[in-house]
Amino acid sequence: MIDGKTYETCTSATITAEIGGKKVEVVISEKPTKTFRYSGVTFDFPKDHIYAFQAAPNLDLWTLSGSDNIIMIFVTQVEPEAFMKNMIQGVIEKYGKGNTKITKCEQDFGSVRVIGQRLTAILAQEKLTQELYLVTNGRNRIILMLQDSPRDDGSETAETSGVRKLLKQTFSIKE
């Protein structure tokens, strides 16, 4: 709808619309991102990511999956430190202690820098990184996991770099 009038079109099209009594050419384009909104958390993510939702007792899980990057949002009412510890232990058990390295990491979520834990696992010569961050809005504890399948040289993929930028620019959390 433009200036009270409905137009049917598709993305990447140019239409002539009447705005304020004047004919104007308008280019219709699709935003390159989608917006995640749940439990007081809001941020943009790449529009090509597919999403899934699972609910369990005391846990809601959103998974936003791209080609090389996965964003997982765990919303829980249980103690988050214990929850994160169990997640880390599960990764170590899955990939083996000798194939898993745990280090500190950081990410800007909006204007707030959050310290987290990075798990780097190697399985059949394939490297996987998972970063776990805890944010809270008072009523819920939210754990965000950023997963990347790094390049052969170990550097982060462009997709994950783009997600980091979006989290820094658009992330917010409300009560």
Q: What pTM was estimated for this model as a whole?
A: 0.82
For the stretch 131-150, pLDDT in tens is 999 987 777 788 999 999 99
List where CATH 3.40.1000.10 sits in the chain.
31-173
Per-residue model confidence as pLDDT tens digits over 31-41: 899 999 998 89
Residues 6+ apart with CB under 8 A from 13: 27, 28
Per-residue pLDDT reduced to its tens digit, 70-126: 999 998 877 878 888 888 898 889 888 888 999 999 999 998 899 999 999 987 778
Buried b vs exposed e over 84-123: b needs ≥16 C-beta within 10 Å? beebbeebbeebeeebbeeeebebebbeeebebbbbbbee
Do residues 49 and 66 lie in contact, with contact meaning Cβ atoms separated by under 8 Å? yes
Domain 31-173: assigned CATH number = 3.40.1000.10
